[in-house]
Amino acid sequence: MLREFNLVMDYIETRLTEGISGKDISKIVGLSDYHFKRMFSYMAGMSLNEYIKNRRLSVANVELINGAKVTDIAYKYGYQSMDGFSRAFREWSGFLPSEVTKNKIQKSFPKFTFFIDVRGGVSMEFKIEKKEKFNIVGVSKRVPIQFEGENNAIIELARSITEQQRNRMHRLADLYPHQVLNVSYDFDDGFLEEKGHLTHMIGFATTKENPFDDLEQISIEESLWAIFPNQGPFPATLQETTAKIYTEWLPSSDYEAADLPGFSFTKYNGTSENVYSEIWMPVKERRQR
């Protein structure tokens, strides 16, 4: 996986003055758009779009020092106007492009290289389990894509569930974990921009078909699942484990993320100090490249 990420960095370097194709990147790394963007964000500490912008401005800085015209550089790196380029460049460097040209001010943003950094020797608890095809029945809503923090649209969805819907979901629920599941899927296109929407469902796992018109159903195909248990302060522990899955476990494991909806659940016990939760990620054995 780290090899594929470094190949993506090489690909981006060759296309800083051209369009960068999400399909090409997905093909190189072997992950869906969503999984790659999320994994990159956790590993790099910034979005892919931000990284590309920073690299373009860094290379543009060098060209300005070497005497290139601001107008030429603005259009070369994809800006529609000199004003737009100047604003972006000043936000990034603290200086206007004309000041860089005049005073030879240098600011750099090096190309990323990914490698495994082992820290502290803390092992992750997980298990791999095969699960037959099953359904998740519940209520869903289109919500803004948000990788970190509480998503207010999901909170509103949870509050909107009626007593009748709860009772019907409980009647259908007949599969482990017999807990309320949070499932995200059907992400908008827009590979480089971390914006758009996804569908989020709150529901239960079941072998049954949904007969109720006020509930929805998604079917999850047979798959292997990597299951990560957590216990600690909520939501911090859940979010930390998610970050470790993408930055530590996936890059070094024999598995890669499968293109199926994953889910998580949390067993609330009246306090947020020591909460048990599980993250279920659909996976497949890594292909030899």
What confidence score (pLDDT) does residue 192 get? 46
pLDDT at 23: 80
- Tokens matching residue 1: 């996986």
Other beta carbons within 10 angstroms of residue 23's beta carbon come to: 9
- C-alpha 76/C-alpha 89 separation (Å) is 14
User: Residue 42: what pLDDT?
Assistant: 80
Residues of the chain with pLDDT under 70: 1, 116-123, 147-149, 189-195, 288-289
**What's 235's DSSP letter?**
T
Query: What secondary structure letter does DSSP report for 66?
Result: T
pLDDT at 288: 61
Q: CB 208: neighbour CB atoms within 10 A? A: 14
pLDDT at position 279 is: 95
pLDDT of residue 29: 83
pLDDT of residue 3: 82
- Confirm whether 2-103 and 127-285 share one CATH topology: no
Pick the CATH number of 127-285 from 3.20.80.10, 1.10.340.30, 3.30.1280.10, 3.40.50.720: 3.20.80.10
What is residue 191's predicted lDDT score, i.e. its pLDDT? 44
Task: Please provide the CATH number assigned to the domain covering 2-103.
Answer: 1.10.10.60
Strands (E), the chain: 127-131, 134-144, 181-185, 197-206, 216-220, 223-232, 255-257, 262-267, 275-285
Output the six-digit token pair for 132. Answer: 């037959």
Residue type, 203: G
- What is the domain partition of the chain in residue ranges? 2-103, 127-285
Please state the length of the chain: 289
What is residue 249's three-state secondary structure? Answer: helix
Beta bridge partners of 225: 129, 282
Report the pLDDT value the prediction gives residue 194, as an integer from 0 to 100: 55
Strand partners, 255: 285
